[in-house]
């Protein structure tokens, strides 16, 4: 089997490549990545020496280059991790988010149609559902929840999801979509909460926390996400959306305190800053569908996952500083 992984030099994409190469001796993986600021080729060092792996630098919005790659490689399956994802950047400049996340997805699906790819899997986000109130822990996002986006980023991902579902209905393209809660683990760009706080704490710099830090996120270790995507590729039903969540809700401030505790740093490093515009209050995923249909369960609890994550960043500070 030959798989195209777009955005594979980024955080989740690179971990997915390692996961697939480690698990399947007969898989061949091609990574297509534009190597924007959030990606780093050195992230893929583990895979570079493997004859089953190939890296191609390119942009998913470049139709001619994408079609040429599909014609050359004849992929069986495509997993689209490629996206602009940082909400703050989307607020400052939405255009690149709309271009990459929507038009890039269209180019990939057009290529999948042309070259009869057996599965196109779109990596989405729980942010397409908007947010939930802090005082209603009984409410969770299901696959049937309304799409109520809060930022240009989440709007661009929702648009790509709807476009993918339309390609399934109109053209019969075998599409699946996964919407995941917040991931954490090795190789995540330090613009995101956990690696940002770890990197700043390691240097004894202030840790900027939005508002009062009460916003709640559902956390999932990245390898559990990779396992879920693998199952969807194998057995997911075309035309379906699958929520992937860790059932691990934490306030941002509590996550920051865990990091400080694991690094033996004091809470005087915490600095509360003006809240983000349109900041979602709470995300919480109901992952019962993927558990029921595909037998997926998260395997890494937050304590163990954070031990591994903090240890990795502490031991890979050069990687952090290069980004």
Whose CA is closest to 250, among 186, 175, 193? 193
Q: How far is CA 221 from CA 188, 199, 283, in A?
A: 11, 18, 16
Question: Is residue 95 annotated as part of the catalytic site, yes or no?
Answer: no
Q: Are 142 and 243 in contact (CB under 8 A)?
A: yes
Q: Indicate the helix (H) or strand (E) that contains 197.
A: helix 193-202
Question: Is residue 126 annotated as part of the catalytic site, yes or no?
Answer: yes
Question: Is residue 131 annotated as part of the catalytic site, yes or no?
Answer: no
> By three-state DSSP, how is residue 10 classified?
coil
Cα–Cα distance for residue pair 146/226, rounded to 1 Å: 26
Cα–Cα distance for residue pair 87/210, rounded to 1 Å: 13
Tokens of 267: 């809470």
Of 33, 129, 153, 161, the active-site residue reads 153
Sign of the alpha-carbon dihedral angle for 267, 269, 275, 277: negative
Whose CA is closest to 121, among 251, 22, 247, 7? 7
Residues with Cβ within 8 Å of 249's Cβ and at least 6 positions away in sequence, in order, are 137, 216, 217, 218, 219, 282, 284
Of 33, 127, 218, 230, the active-site residue reads 127
Cα–Cα distance for residue pair 258/184, rounded to 1 Å: 14
Rg (CA), the chain: 19
DSSP secondary structure of 106-146: HHHHHHHHHTT-SEEEEEEEGGGG----TT-TT--B-TTS-
| Residue positions annotated with a catalytic role | 126-127, 153
């Amino acid at each position: 089997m030959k798989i195209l992984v777009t955005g594979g030099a980024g955080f989740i994409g690179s971990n997915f490549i390692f996961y697939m190469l480690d698990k399947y001796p007969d898989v061949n993986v091609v990574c297509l990545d534009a190597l924007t600021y959030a990606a780093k080729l050195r992230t893929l060092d583990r895979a570079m020496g493997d004859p089953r792996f190939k890296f191609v630098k390119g942009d998913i919005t470049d139709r001619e280059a994408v079609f040429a790659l599909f014609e050359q490689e004849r992929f069986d399956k495509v997993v689209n991790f490629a996206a602009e994802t940082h909400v703050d950047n989307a607020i400052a400049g939405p255009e690149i988010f709309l271009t990459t996340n929507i038009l890039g997805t269209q180019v990939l699906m057009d290529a999948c149609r042309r070259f009869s790819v057996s599965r196109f899997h779109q990596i989405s986000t729980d942010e397409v559902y908007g947010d939930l109130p802090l005082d209603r822990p009984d409410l969770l996002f299901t696959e049937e929840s309304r799409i109520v986006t809060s930022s240009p980023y989440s709007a661009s991902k929702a648009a790509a999801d709807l476009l993918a579902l339309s390609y399934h209905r109109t053209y019969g393209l075998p599409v699946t979509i996964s919407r995941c809660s917040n991931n954490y683990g090795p190789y995540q760009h330090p613009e995101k909460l956990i690696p940002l706080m770890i990197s700043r704490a390691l240097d004894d710099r202030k840790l900027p926390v939005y508002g009062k830090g009460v916003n709640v996120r559902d956390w999932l270790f990245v390898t559990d996400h990779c396992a879920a995507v693998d199952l969807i590729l194998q057995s997911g039903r075309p035309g379906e959306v699958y929520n992937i969540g860790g059932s691990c809700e934490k306030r941002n401030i509590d996550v920051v305190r865990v990091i400080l505790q694991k690094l033996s740093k004091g809470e005087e490093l915490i600095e509360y800053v003006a809240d983000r515009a349109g900041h979602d209050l709470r995300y919480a995923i109901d992952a019962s569908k993927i558990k029921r249909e595909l037998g997926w369960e998260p395997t890494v609890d937050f304590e163990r996952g954070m031990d591994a994550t903090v240890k990795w960043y502490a031991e890979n500070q050069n990687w952090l500083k290069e980004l």
